[in-house]
Amino acid sequence: MAAPTLPRHVTTTVVRPLGTPVPLGFLALAGAAFVTAGLQLGWALPPEQHAAAVIMIAFAFPLQILASILGFRARDTAFGTAMAVLAGSWLVQGGLLSVGPVPGARHVLGMFLLVTAASLLVPIAAAGTGKLAATAVIGCAALRLCAAGIHELTGARGWENTAGVIGLIVTVAALYAAAAFALEDARHRPVLPVGRRGPRYDAVGEGIEPGERREL
């Protein structure tokens, strides 16, 4: 008598691969950094600071928060942390700009910008030299925040100009990194150098699940 045949259960796994959020986060950073640099270097008149505040709050903040969430979902803690910290800094700066000069707020803002710059050292240290282009962008953003914080504390015009110049560097670096990572993700191969060290992500790789990334 033949043994009874047990029903076979077929398990289907549906994978939703994530596109890299790096271009989104860096493009948001580039837009806000360029507008802020324009204010600091005197390219825009002081009354236009309210428009800059809108850009920080309505453009940079939500896009970088979204990039942060996607970064954490893709298991890139360093990038997700950096984007969340920068998003919060734009929200604070935009909020203070939108209400106009507040007595005594310069020193509080200066201290906040300095601690935000120091906070970015955490994701920079976590990222290491795996993706030098991304690390360089975040490092330049930290330097800009540091210079801006010193300006708020001292009121020295020289530090404001320094923050503006660094902001322009951040803009160019962020645009380049965004383009490089977007092209790499779209074509599944390096197009522009990003200083990547170690293995790239694979659609299916050893030790990872289908559709996951080793890194962004």
152 falls within a domain: yes
212 falls within a domain: no
Q: What is the pLDDT of residue 153?
A: 92
CA distance 34 to 149: 17
What pairs with residue 96 in β-bridges? none
CA distance 195 to 171: 18
Half-sphere exposure of 51 toward its Cβ, with a 13 Å CA cutoff? 9
Cα 114 to its chain centre, rounded Å, is 17
Q: What is the pLDDT of residue 186?
A: 81
Q: What is the pLDDT of residue 211?
A: 40
94 falls within a domain: yes
181 falls within a domain: yes
* Residues 127 and 78 sit within 8 Å (Cβ to Cβ): yes
Show the tokens assigned to 187. Answer: 């074509």
Q: Which of 72, 61, 32 is nearest to 174 (CA)?
A: 32
The whole-model pTM stands at 0.80
88 falls within a domain: yes
44 falls within a domain: yes
Q: What is the pLDDT of residue 203?
A: 32
167 falls within a domain: yes
195 falls within a domain: no
Tell me the CA distances in angstroms from 91 to 88, 97, 179, 207, 215, one per residue in order: 5, 10, 25, 38, 28
What pairs with residue 131 in β-bridges? 196
- One-letter identity of residue 177: A
Give the domain extent around 176: 22-187
Q: What is the pLDDT of residue 1?
A: 53
Tally of domains within the chain: 1
Digit-by-digit pLDDT tens for the chain (216 residues) are 555 555 555 554 444 567 788 999 999 999 999 999 999 999 988 788 889 999 999 999 999 999 999 999 888 889 999 999 999 999 999 999 888 766 666 889 999 999 999 999 999 998 776 678 889 999 999 999 999 999 999 989 999 999 999 999 999 999 999 998 888 888 877 777 676 665 544 333 333 343 444 445
Residue 183 belongs to a domain with what CATH number?
1.25.40
